[in-house]
């Protein structure tokens, strides 16, 4: 399997596009060949497209898997005996959810990379963490939802963790007050799904404006945007409302999928999501051709972390556009991009049908 130890010694945004591309081409081809040999369903897909994984293939030519396939099939490349954790995606009642099979190696690498990426934004020191969720979501450590997986993953960058919500998703004001009184003199983390922070933290604290001192907090949030978009709450409105009530300036939105846990994309101070040394993004048109800069299309995510399952190249149901490469004002190298919502269900079915033949 590819060794990422050398990359872990570098700053997570230190590789320029051309340098990263050389490393990526080698690793992604290795992973493609490995999954081809060890996952029967993945082999059938590549054979259907007459794709030869033994060649030194261009990154753009290696087939991607639509995320919907992870809802239809149990895709794994290691023995079931080596699986230590199964992640499931968020899903509405009655809908199928993705099942992601993780072994010990993949889980460890995901944790290491997530910590490495976050250290670039908040430093190496583990900070007190207030999680805007209920602890019951992580009771079954072997079977996690997307929320539970995110909570456990991000908890490795926190210390003295406090869960702010009870099992009915109501704020426990006493617990929050004790947390704030204890840690308000230095930096601390507030973490949660975007919709939970807005619905159950922001709204419940709004009547208590200025009663608690959250000013040294660092908010890390992601996911749950669909619920807020239905309320006409976009990223800018979210930030403004949070700043108005909590006086918090450090707010980091992250983008990531359970299908590639650990390979997250953090929004920089200029509002762009960044690819780290461990992940990449490609934008494809509806006919799957590569989109040009600033052209909106389907978001394809690439990661060097998935070893226990063939999730190294996936096509999401999200729309996005590349904003630039190596030249963001924040100083981080690599591609940076913006999201522009999701495609419609009919379009999603059309994309996945290609792989159902």
pLDDT, tens digit, 9 for 90 and up, residues 185-200:
899 999 999 989 998 8
Closest CA to 57 of 14, 90, 26: 26
pLDDT of residue 54: 87
Residue pair 275/335 in contact (Cβ under 8 Å)? The answer is yes
Q: Give the pLDDT score at 210.
A: 64
Query: Taking Cα atoms as reference points, which of 101, 106, 78 lies closest to residue 278?
Result: 106
pLDDT digits (tens, 9 = 90+) for 316-335: 999 999 999 999 999 999 99
Report how far apart, in Å, the C-alpha atoms of 75 and of each of 34, 103, 106 are. 13, 13, 14
CA dihedral (98, 104, 109, 114) positive or negative: positive
Angle at 59 between CA 58 and CA 65, to 5 degrees: 125
How many CB atoms neighbour CB 40 within 10 A? 11
Q: What is the mean pLDDT of residues 307-313?
A: 96
pLDDT digits (tens, 9 = 90+) for 163-185: 999 888 888 999 999 999 999 88
Task: Of 107, 113, 110, 109, give the one whose Cα is nearest residue 85.
Answer: 107
Query: Residue 49: CB partners within 8 Å, gap ≥ 6?
Result: 63
Please, which residues have CB within 8 angstroms of residue 321's CB and are 6 or more apart in sequence? 283, 291, 293, 294, 295, 296, 297, 337, 338, 340
Residue 230 has pLDDT above 90, yes or no: no
Backbone angles phi, psi at 172, to 5 degrees: -95, 90
What residue ranges define each of the domains in the chain, with the CATH number in brackets? 5-353 (3.40.50.12780)
pLDDT of residue 300: 97
Residue 190, CA distances (Å) to 69, 208, 237, 246, 346 in order: 34, 18, 18, 11, 37
Would you say 140 and 147 are in contact if contact means Cβ atoms under 8 Å apart? no
């Amino acid at each position: 399997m590819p060794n990422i130890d050398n990359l872990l010694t570098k700053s997570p945004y230190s590789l320029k596009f051309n340098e990263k591309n050389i490393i990526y081409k080698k690793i992604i081809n290795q992973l493609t060949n490995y999954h081809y040999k060890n996952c029967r369903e993945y082999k059938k897909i590549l054979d259907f497209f007459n794709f030869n994984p033994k060649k030194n293939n261009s990154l753009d030519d290696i087939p991607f898997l639509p995320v919907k396939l992870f809802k239809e099939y149990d895709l794994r490349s290691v023995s079931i005996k080596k699986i230590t954790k199964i992640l499931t995606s968020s899903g509405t009642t009655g809908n199928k959810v993705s099942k992601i099979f993780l072994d010990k190696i993949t889980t460890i690498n995901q944790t290491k990379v997530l910590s490495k990426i976050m250290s670039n934004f908040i430093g190496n020191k583990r900070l007190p963490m207030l999680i805007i969720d209920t602890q019951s979501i992580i009771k079954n450590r072997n079977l996690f939802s997307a929320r539970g997986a995110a909570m456990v993953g991000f908890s490795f960058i926190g210390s003295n963790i406090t869960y702010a919500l009870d099992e009915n998703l109501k704020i426990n004001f006493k617990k929050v007050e004790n947390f704030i009184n204890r840690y308000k003199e230095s930096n601390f983390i507030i973490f949660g799904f975007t919709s939970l922070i807005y619905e159950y933290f922001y709204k419940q604290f709004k009547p208590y404006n200025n009663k608690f001192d959250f000013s040294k907090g660092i908010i890390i949030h992601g996911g749950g945007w669909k619920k807020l978009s239905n309320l006409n709450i976009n990223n800018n409105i979210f930030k403004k409302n949070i700043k108005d009530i909590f006086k918090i300036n450090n707010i980091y939105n992250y983008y990531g999928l359970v299908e590639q846990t650990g390979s997250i994309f953090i929004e920089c101070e200029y509002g762009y999501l960044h690819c780290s040394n461990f992940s990449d993004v490609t934008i494809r048109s509806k006919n799957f051709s590569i989109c040009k800069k600033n052209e909106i299309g389907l978001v394809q995510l690439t990661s060097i972390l998935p070893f226990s399952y063939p999730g190294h190249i996936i096509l999401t149901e999200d729309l996005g556009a590349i904003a630039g490469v190596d030249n963001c004002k924040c100083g981080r190298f690599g591609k940076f991009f913006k999201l522009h919502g999701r495609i419609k269900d009919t379009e999603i079915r059309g994309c996945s049908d290609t792989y159902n033949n």
